[in-house]
Structure formats: C-alpha cells, structure tokens
Amino acid sequence: MTNLGTNDVIFREEQRLRQWWILLIALALAVLGWAAFVEQIVRNRPFGNNPAPDWAVWLIWLALGIGAPAFFLLARMVVEVRLDRVTIRWIPITTREIRLADVTGVEVRTYRALREYGGWGIKGWSRRRTAYSVSGNRGVELELSDGRHVLIGSNRADELAAVVAGAIGRGIAGRRRPDD
C-alpha cells in the first residue's frame, strides 16, 4: 500500500469553457478588434463615425482581438483534492483553498446556476454562499465550520463528494433541497 502525503492529489477534475455561445462571444469580440485594427492601422482609414486615436485602436486590438480569444480558450476550472485541502483554481482568475478541517458537511446536489447564483463562473461573492462552476447543474456543496457554503460544479459530482467525505471521515449527505 502506498503512503499518501498531504500534497498528493487524490482527485482531480478539469473543466473548460466549451459552450457554443461563449465561443461565439469570443469570436465576435475578436472580429471587432481585428476589424478596427485592420481598417485604421493597416489600411490607414478611420474606423467608425467617431474614430479612436491609433494608440486606443492598438489597445482595443490587443484586448479584444488577442486577449479575449486567448482568455476564453485558456480559461478552465481545476478542482484538486488532497488529504488536507480542496483547491479550486479558476485559471487565469483566482485560486481558492479550503482546508478539509474546516469542512463540516458534503452534499451532492443539483443546482440552478441562473436562479441561485446568477449564472456560471465564480458567483455569489457574498460571505455566506459562493459557487465555482463552468457548466451544467450538478455539483458538490461544502458546508464550512463558519457557516459558509461553497458549491463546486462538477461533471463527476458523486466521485468528488465521495473523495472529500472520505478525506474528512464523514458520510455523504445525499439529501436534496426542497426546491429541486
């Protein structure tokens, strides 16, 4: 039997932004950035009725033509569970670590991203409830010792909950919320 250290990953899931409408938004932003750049910088013709200065068009091109597509293609959520913590990385935005010693409850549940959190992503910036999700409607809600709740969207919610529950030495609360 292999001895696991606290830094050894016992669960890992990576989810990427692959919804068609997100990719369509990224494409539209890129087209706008490139159109402004080509028209005003390359062809030396003002872009639009009230053209921005060239330096602003360069910034728009970098942000929309290069930055937005790169962000949407590289963005992903990685959830890792170790023996002492759960790490949620929303690359390239943020990282959150939750000590398993602070977890008092684990629940696999179906959630309504739009109704409960205002959509997918990093939502619910309140002190009590936060959600980290990419897509879908299944996840694992962790209840913390200070009363906060953290929902982690997952395509492998049952497995994630089992690993966390096993690591904290508790059973999984398989209950559903009344509004589900």
pLDDT of residue 72: 84
Could you report the per-residue pLDDT of 26-38, keeping only the tens digit for each? Answer: 899 999 999 999 9
**Nearest residue to 104 via CA among 73, 145, 134, 140:** 145
pLDDT of residue 3: 63
Q: What percent of the chain has pLDDT over 70?
A: 89
119 pLDDT band, cuts 50/70/90, is: confident
Q: Are 131 and 116 in contact (CB under 8 A)?
A: yes
Q: How far apart are CA 126 and CA 148, in angstroms?
A: 9
* Of the listed ranges 18-32, 88-102, 133-147, the one predicted with least confidence: 18-32
* Of the listed ranges 101-105, 111-115, 127-131, 169-173, the one predicted with least confidence: 169-173
Could you report the per-residue pLDDT of 155-167, keeping only the tens digit for each? Answer: 999 999 999 999 8
**Nearest residue to 15 via CA among 79, 69, 76:** 76
Asked if the model's pLDDT at residue 76 lies above 80, the reply is yes
Q: What's the Cα-to-Cα distance from 99 to each of 4, 7, 73, 104, 143, rounded to whole Å?
A: 17, 12, 30, 11, 12
Segment 4-27 shows an average pLDDT of 83
